[in-house]
Amino acid sequence: MNGIVNARWLVLVVLLVGTACGGSDDADMGDMPGMSSTPAGSGGAGEDSAGMRAHMERMSSMTADSMLATMPEHRQMVANMLAQMNREMSSMNMGADAAWTATVDSIRSDLTSMPNMTADQLAAMMPAHRARVERLMSMHGTMMGRM
DSSP string, 3-57: HHHHHHHHHHHHHHHHHHH----GGGGTTSTT-----SSSS-HHHHHHHHHHHHH
Query: Per this entry, what is the length of the chain?
Result: 147
Residues 102-119 have pLDDT tens digits of: 999 999 999 999 999 999
Top pLDDT among 57 and 31 is at 57
Residue 5 has pLDDT above 90, yes or no: no
41 CB-near residues (< 8 Å, 6+ apart): 14, 17, 18, 21, 47, 48, 51
What integer is the mean pLDDT of 72-79?
Answer: 95
Angle, helix 119-146 to helix 98-113, in steps of 10 degrees: 150
What integer is the mean pLDDT of 2-30?
Answer: 44
Residue 140, Cβ neighbours under 10 Å: how many?
23
Residue 83 has pLDDT above 50, yes or no: yes
- Label residue 47 by pLDDT band (50, 70, 90): low
The pLDDT value recorded for residue 72 is 95
**Mean of per-residue pLDDT scores for the chain:** 78
Angstrom CA distances, 86 to 14, 60, 81, 105, 140, stand at 19, 26, 9, 13, 10
- Label residue 1 by pLDDT band (50, 70, 90): low
Torsion, Cα 100 102 108 111, to 10 degrees, reads: -110
Residue 137 has pLDDT above 90, yes or no: yes
Q: CA-to-CA distance for 55 and 81, rounded, in angstroms?
A: 12
Q: CA-to-CA distance for 29 and 25, rounded, in angstroms?
A: 8
- Label residue 144 by pLDDT band (50, 70, 90): confident
By percentage, how much of the chain surpasses pLDDT 90?
56
Q: CA-to-CA distance for 110 and 147, rounded, in angstroms?
A: 30
- Label residue 50 by pLDDT band (50, 70, 90): confident
Residue 125 has pLDDT above 50, yes or no: yes
